[in-house]
């Protein structure tokens, strides 16, 4: 926010996950509102026009009483508008789906767009901006479960609506918050699914900072992946330098200026092969205590090197924490003697030097490779691997799904649904929803009991099994109802957890990165971890411009009719163009 103000930007565009959870604590919300008021309200003149239909852009939630951009509100003095979609952490949930961005939107601090309520034949209306001779259209799609969105794309049910008068005169940006890296056959969104008339894809969700524009030679657009602004997990990709980007657009050209963040806590990740440290021949000649002393000495020297590096690379900014995050991932495959290595005792010597002493060491073994022809089985040892190691092999959810898709009927779950339980497992692993599995089991049991009570007149084991199979098919065929039941169960899990949360224990450094007073600040960290041919729509419409005056009572009519049409867009290409 401070960089945006110093650089005198027109507006701020966010790719989701402004918050780490759907119901942030009062302290987090207070800090967020305070920062937005400090940096985004003021007397600076808005030098661009928003010419699209704001009633469509900002009315996806029926509870929104202010379906217009905040800088057009005569009661607000907005100097830097913020536009944001929701991510997978702060997504709408509950019977009447709401998220923190709805609250910020109602407060007039954020312009929340890209919230799709109906997940069939999705029509995305862009935000249409005009400044001088430059026309900019921004499409937004908030986070949707990857498997479902993958299926929607395959059915060609996503339509990006374009201005009808002069579609080729617009610079087109698409903001998306999904898996970019494949975690399974359908657990990601391939870049080839996206429309080729787009110029830039702003890709949220992925934490690796790959902010330098990457050109997709098949679709002929650029992908910009800003990454997370702080390290939220101790995975390898988080150690990359964090940046924000200043995007400058003139007609159909653009330039991105990378700005490194100065107040982010430093993070260093090192992979270590124990076989490179200790000769396997020594296993038979030295006692285990001697071997552990050798490992202790090596790790101590390595950590001290990283601490020296952190001191040299510290920006000197007064708000950058002094203590770095350090992660040593040690592969001790073939060194079973080190099963008893006391890493907790070892890290005590660095308790006052690093921010995450308890999670600094990660010992793991590689699982044995299975032949392709072997029967697919769950590997208990693989599931024990920490999340950041596991993500390089395969996610737990994918392993479980593969198992149930491959096993015979005798090993299938009768009452519990795979989709429901995998969703709960994902919530437990990725979002620390400790009650997700419990509440999901309770919900599935209740649904099964109610169904059997209504459908059975007598208790017969064979009839019960037959009815449970019928219930499972009903769930599969009625995906919308199943998703609603799953969301309700997850919401109950979140509410149960929030009852136990103590707002007084919130760690400000996780929000602002400027407080280094708590050695356990990172205990909650997860261990995971030239242009193309344009499509033109038929139809005609005119653009009605809107302007912004000065002082109270200024502004033009709200929700002016823009220049998009409800005509379905042409289908996307699926592969390399000929």
Q: What are phi and psi of 202, to 5 degrees?
A: -95, 110
Contact 31, 506 (CB under 8 A): no
| C-alpha distances in Å from residue 387, one per residue of 456, 527, 529 | 44, 5, 6
Contact 174, 181 (CB under 8 A): no
d(CA 396, CA 187): 13
Q: Which of 89, 150, 195, 207 is catalytic?
A: 89
Nearest by Cα to 85 from 4, 145, 144: 144
CA distance 119 to 13: 24
Residue 569 has what DSSP assignment?
P
In the chain, the largest separation of any two C-alpha atoms, in whole Å, equals 85
Q: Which burial class, exposed, middle or buried, applies to 169 when counting CB atoms under 10 A from its CB (0-12, 13-18, 19+)?
A: middle
| Residue 550 to residue 79: CA distance in whole angstroms | 11
Q: Give me the DSSP letters along 239-298.
A: GSPPEEEEEEEETTEEEEEEEE-SSSPPEEEEEEEHHHHS-GGGGGTS-HHHHHHHHHHH
89 classed as catalytic: yes
Reduce the DSSP state of residue 474 to 3 states and report it: helix
As annotated, the active-site residues are 89
């Amino acid at each position: 926010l401070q960089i945006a103000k110093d650089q005198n930007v027109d507006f701020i565009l966010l790719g989701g996950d402004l918050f780490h959870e759907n119901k942030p604590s009062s302290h987090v919300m207070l800090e967020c509102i305070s920062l937005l008021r400090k940096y985004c309200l003021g007397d600076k003149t808005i030098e661009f026009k928003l010419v699209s239909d704001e009633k469509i852009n900002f009315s996806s939630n029926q509870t929104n009483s202010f379906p217009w951009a905040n800088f057009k509100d005569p009661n607000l003095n907005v100097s830097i508008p913020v536009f944001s979609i929701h991510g997978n952490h702060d997504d709408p949930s509950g019977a009447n789906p709401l998220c923190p961005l709805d609250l910020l939107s109602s407060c007039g601090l954020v312009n929340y767009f890209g919230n799709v309520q109906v997940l069939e034949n999705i029509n995305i209306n862009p935000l249409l901006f005009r400044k001088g001779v430059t026309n900019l259209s921004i499409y937004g799609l908030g986070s949707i479960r990857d498997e479902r969105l993958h299926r929607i794309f395959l059915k060609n049910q996503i339509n990006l609506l374009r201005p009808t008068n002069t579609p080729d005169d617009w610079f087109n940006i698409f903001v998306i918050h999904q898996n970019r890296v494949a975690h399974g056959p359908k657990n990601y969104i391939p870049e080839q699914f996206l429309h080729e008339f787009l110029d830039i894809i702003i890709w949220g969700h992925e934490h690796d900072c790959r902010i330098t524009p990457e050109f997709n030679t098949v679709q002929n657009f650029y992908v910009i992946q800003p990454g997370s602004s702080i390290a939220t997990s101790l995975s390898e990709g988080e150690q990359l330098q964090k940046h924000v980007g200043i995007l400058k657009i003139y007609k159909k050209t653009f330039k991105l200026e990378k700005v490194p963040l100065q107040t982010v806590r430093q993070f260093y990740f090192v992979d270590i092969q124990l076989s490179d440290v200790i000769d396997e021949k020594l296993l038979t000649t030295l006692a285990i205590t001697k071997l552990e002393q050798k490992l202790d000495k090596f790790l101590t020297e390595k950590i001290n090197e990283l601490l020296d590096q952190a001191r040299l690379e510290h920006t000197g900014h007064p708000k950058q924490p002094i203590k770095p995050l350090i992660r040593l991932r040690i592969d001790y495959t073939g060194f079973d003697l080190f099963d008893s290595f006391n890493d907790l005792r070892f890290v005590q010597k660095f308790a006052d030097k690093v921010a995450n002493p308890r999670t600094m060491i990660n010992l793991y073994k590689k699982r044995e490779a299975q032949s392709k022809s072997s029967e697919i089985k769950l590997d208990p040892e693989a599931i024990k691997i920490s999340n950041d190691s596991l993500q390089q092999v395969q996610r737990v959810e994918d392993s479980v799904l593969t198992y149930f898709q491959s096993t015979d009927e005798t090993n299938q779950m009768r009452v519990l649904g795979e989709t429901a339980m995998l969703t709960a497992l994902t919530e437990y692993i990725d979002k620390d929803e400790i009650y997700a599995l419990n509440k999901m089991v309770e919900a599935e049991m209740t649904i099964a009991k109610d169904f059997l009570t209504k459908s059975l007149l007598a208790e017969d084991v064979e009839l019960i099994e037959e009815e449970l199979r019928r219930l499972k098919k009903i769930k599969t065929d009625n995906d919308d109802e199943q998703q609603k039941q799953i969301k309700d169960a997850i919401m109950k899990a979140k509410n149960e957890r929030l009852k136990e949360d103590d707002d007084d224990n919130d760690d400000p450094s996780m929000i602002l990165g400027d407080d280094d007073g708590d050695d356990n600040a990172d205990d909650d960290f997860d261990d995971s971890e030239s242009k193309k041919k344009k499509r033109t729509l038929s139809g005609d419409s005119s653009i009605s411009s809107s302007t912004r005056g000065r002082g109270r009572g200024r502004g033009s009519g709200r929700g002016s009719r823009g220049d998009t049409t409800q005509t379905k867009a042409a289908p996307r290409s699926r592969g390399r163009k000929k």
